[in-house]
Chains A and B, each alone.
Chain A
Amino acid sequence: MSTGQAIFRDVPDPPAPKRPSLGSRLVKSRTDYLYVAPAILVMLVVIAYPIYYTIELSFFNTPASLALSEKQFNGLDNYVTILTSSIFWKVTWQTIIWTVVSTLFAFLLGLGAALALHREFAGRALLRGLLLIPWVVSAVAASYVWKWLYHSDFGAIGALMVQLGVTDQPINFLDNTTTSLYSLIVVNVWKEFSFAMIMLMAGLQTVPDTLLRAAQVDGASPWQRFWHVTWPHLSSVSTVTVLLLVVQNFNSFIIPFIMTGGGPVGSTQIWITHIYELAFLRQRWGVGAAYAVLLFIIMMTLGYFYVRALTRGDDQRAGA
């Protein structure tokens, strides 16, 4: 044994294969780079440059009376102005409520709808089509329709409530600082739960029937079958769906902008509408850019987790 060990110790390791230099790798793959060059060029122009310019602009003061070419460098002032403003923290809190509540309810409704539509029943295709309508409808059109449904004086919902004797007066959905944000969240959930439904329906296709039947034979209740068989198979697609919903909700603009314009008294203002207001309505490009950079950092962080969630399976397979 010892001899053998010695023999093994004496055998020199095979030389590691020499890694080709970067230059030679570039030359070797030049055709591949040529193929992707147009796409990279377009991305540099339409994505990288605007990002660079926004970051640069965030360090400048841009008074309405000066051309952008005459912008004044002010270091981190714009970031300090934003982070020390009480309005910013109020808007941030509203953005968190908007994003978390919208995502949670859109996901739960989507999951419920996906589970219901996964079963065979008459009219399933029709119902699936109907439930997709909110997602297909233009957000602008939907916002105007909901604005009238909610209308504090002549809205259909308010009129129905009065007719049914639920309330004496039409409910003030949008013209009240307490109810406005949640009223918009309802519209947002209505608009995007179909997206969660589609994603989760696709995920449900991957749950093996054999496992579900085996669990049933073993006497598992419907809840146990869902929790121990179905849900583990949905976890990856759920992570991706939630991340996509979070990103989508952080970037929501159309519904709050059209339905309330951020009011009343800024109660429906969220980050993206506030950035738009600062930059385009108040022409404070520098502050707006700094605000956008903060949002960009959050989006990139979420993007990192999204990519990780997407590639987790690949890594596991590669590890195996």
Chain B
Amino acid sequence: MTDFDRHAGVGRPVARQVFRFTVAVGLAASLMSGTVFAQSVDLSQWSPEYVKSIAGSTTYDTAKDCGAVVPNDYAGRVSYWYTGPFEADPEISHRQDAAFWEAFKVAYPNIQTDVQSITYNELLDKFRTALLGNAAPMVVRLQILGGVEFAAKGYLNPLKPEDVGYSSADFWPGALKSVTYEGVGYGIPTNNETMALIWNAKIFADAGLDPESPPATWDDLVIYSKTIHDKLGIAGYGLVAKQNAGNTPFRFMPQLWAYGGGALDEAAPTPGYKEVWINNEGSKAALQAAVDMYVRDKSVPVSALTNTQAENQGPFIAGELAMVIAHPSEYARMNDLASKATGADKEKADAVVANMRYGLMPTGPDGKRAVVFGGSNIHMVKSDFVEGGQVDEQAVKALICMWTSPEWSVKLNWASSNPGHLGGFRTEWMKERLEQTRFLDITTSMLPNGIPFPVIPEAPEIMNIIIPDMLQNALTETMTVDQAVEDAAMKVQAIIDGSGGI
């Protein structure tokens, strides 16, 4: 006889309670396994194989799931600004965008939408202007670093995944970090992506390197670049160091972080964005590696100082450049360029595309691998700054729930990025994407190594001005490596202290 049996008299109600609790937990668990409340994926197992294995394992009913957050018959109005597909974007992006608005209309037939698609370069300025005139939209989707400026200035309402029925565990920790300002969440990630190392296997083979193995470390990359240049007379690595260009930090910061450096302490497990790391030994080593390639070995394009990645595409497709760092979409871009080539150029371009390989970013000397955590976030604007002075919170939540759902976070980022909601990786559409898009598994597997830029309003100045300045000072030998990092450190510190000169 058990204790339970011995206390059968008083035990019955307890047993009932246990039973009820068990049923409730079971029911909740079963609900959570297939709904928006689930812990979507196991990040500890993240690898190209794992990404493939979970794709297509779960189905979602987005309208129903969001209906649990905001009733589907809710009547209201929502205004929304974002960067939608434009002429240069592939047809699939246009189709998915149109499909979303159809689906939203079906899920929420009584919510009126006022939507503006604004180009990437115009959105921030237009949004800033609209805020000054209290004419902003209720919802805005901004690039990953865009939101912090507006959160700091008090234009955004606090917003976290739980507000629209999801769990914070359903999003990348790095992505959530990018929408957190002074401990408060001000948005939900819509999509996230990282870059990868791309190389031309034929050039590797011609230079006597293993065509299927990319450089494992950044030090190896310096050696590979020199080997290619010395043997074939072409540029090895597509260094990018243009001033005032976002391309530069996206390619140099991974190198800096891998060596143990940083602008501030953004690469630390719990960054406070107060410590300046730009002049530490890791940062110096990374800058020295860039100088070695540009000044000592001359194994990178001379034009690196005025190049963005766009200028590297021509030489790469022409077989004149061996390695670049770029997005998953670069393969599609190269295919596009090859399709437009003619005659002998076409033959060469097709050969380059056939020899294109994607690999993980090189590591630092201690095995640290890092990449910039990119993407976008969706935000809710405060009523005071919205046209009409009122935010329809329910309508806003309905839109955000749909937009950030596992289904639409895959579909709306089909060609250019990855789902912000981790549940998106479990969907059948992710499986379809993996089958369609070559090398997608490589770039998605880099996501756990993603580090967001410092989440402070001054980050654009640090990343787009000070980091390229530091590179240019060293690459042109205007300053030594030590002088360049100290100069950068002084400028970063001045910004943190609230001054900064000009």
Contact = CB atoms under 8 A, between A and B. Distances in A.
Interface of A: 63-70, 81-82, 85, 87-88, 147, 151-154, 170, 172, 174-177, 259-266, 274, 277-278, 280-284, 287, 291
Given A67-B154, A153-B235, A174-B306, A281 B472 contact: no
B149 interface: yes
Contacts of B464: 281
Interface string B319-353: 01000000000000000000000000000000000
A278 B320 contact: no
A85 B491 CA distance: 13
B465 A277 contact: yes
Given A64-B149, A265-B472, 9 more contacts: A65-B456, A81-B501, A152-B303, A154-B303, A175-B305, A176-B476, A263-B242, A263-B244, A284-B502
B153 A66 contact: yes
Interface of B: 125, 131-132, 149, 152-155, 235, 242-245, 301-306, 311, 314-315, 320, 456-458, 460-461, 464-465, 468-469, 472-473, 475-476, 478, 498, 500-502
Nearest to B302: A152
A99 to B, nearest CB: 20
A175 B471 CA distance: 13
A264 B306 contact: yes
A229 B465 CA distance: 54
A172 to B, nearest CB: 6
Contact of B461 (A261, A283, A287): A283
Contact of A175 (B153, B304, B456, B465): B304
B322 to A, nearest CB: 14
A66 B457 CA distance: 9
A263 B314 contact: no
A259 B457 contact: no
Contacts of B149: 64, 283
Contacts of A174: 303, 305-306
A277 B472 CA distance: 17
A70 B155 CA distance: 12
B306 A260 contact: yes
Nearest to A175: B305
Contacts of B457: 63-65, 283
A263 B154 contact: no
- Most chain A beta-carbon contacts within 10 A, residue among B149, B473, B502: B502
A175 B302 contact: yes
A263 B472 contact: yes
A265 B153 contact: no
Contacts of A287: 502
Contact of A152 (B301, B458, B469): B301
Contacts of B301: 152-153
A152 B131 CA distance: 43
A257 to B, nearest CB: 8
Nearest to B243: A263
A85 B501 contact: yes
B303 A264 contact: no
Nearest to A262: B243
Contacts of B465: 277, 281-282
A289 B302 CA distance: 36
9 closest Cβ contacts across the A-B interface? A263-B243, A64-B457, A152-B302, A67-B153, A175-B305, A152-B303, A264-B305, A261-B244, A65-B152
A281 B500 CA distance: 14
B320 A284 contact: no
A264 B461 CA distance: 17
Nearest to A170: B302
Contacts of A85: 501-502
B246 to A, nearest CB: 10
Interface centre among A64, A87, A174 (most CB of B within 10 A): A64
Contacts of B500: 284
B244 A264 contact: no
B309 to A, nearest CB: 14
Contacts of A262: 243-244
Given A65-B153, A153-B235, A264 B501 contact: no
Contacts of B154: 67
A213 B465 CA distance: 62
Contacts of B498: 63
16 contacts: A65-B458, A67-B131, A67-B154, A85-B502, A152-B303, A153-B235, A153-B301, A153-B320, A154-B314, A177-B478, A261-B306, A263-B472, A266-B469, A277-B465, A282-B461, A283-B460
Contacts of A70: 153
Interface centre among B131, B155, B242, B315 (most CB of A within 10 A): B242
A68 B132 CA distance: 8
A177 B477 CA distance: 10
Nearest to A155: B303
B125 A151 contact: no
A36 to B, nearest CB: 28
Contacts of B468: 263
